[in-house]
Amino acid sequence: MGLLDRLFGRRSPATTAEPQEPAECLHGDLAPRWDNAADMGKDDLVSSFKCNSCGTEFSTAEAEKIRDTAGLRIKETLGE
């Protein structure tokens, strides 16, 4: 630390912490997608689902499995 740094109250740069690994998305906000506008709103004609949090797309079978296990995954994340 130099004289001017001490005079102006500047501190030496703090040691940088290692970047943390991003948290795994729980895919709790799945939005349905349809192939045709005429099919919109019909649950049996959904073509895929997109997670609004991370952008990952899922088939209807994958989305159903995610929804079935959502409560369990959230409890595990919260440590309950």
pLDDT tens readout for residues 54-67? 999 999 999 999 98
Total domain count, the chain: 1
7 within some domain: no
Pairing of strands 48-51, 57-58: antiparallel
80 within some domain: yes
14 within some domain: no
15 within some domain: no
Pick the closest to residue 49 from 58, 37, 39, 40 (CA basis): 58
Report how far residue 10's alpha carbon sits from residue 60's, in angstroms, rounded to the nearest whole number: 56
3 within some domain: no
pTM of the full predicted structure?
A: 0.62
pLDDT confidence of residue 32: 96
Its domain, for residue 77, covers 26-80
53 within some domain: yes
List, in sequence order, every residue forming a beta bridge with 49; answer none if it has no partner: 32, 58
Neighbouring C-beta atoms of residue 7, cutoff 10 Å: 8
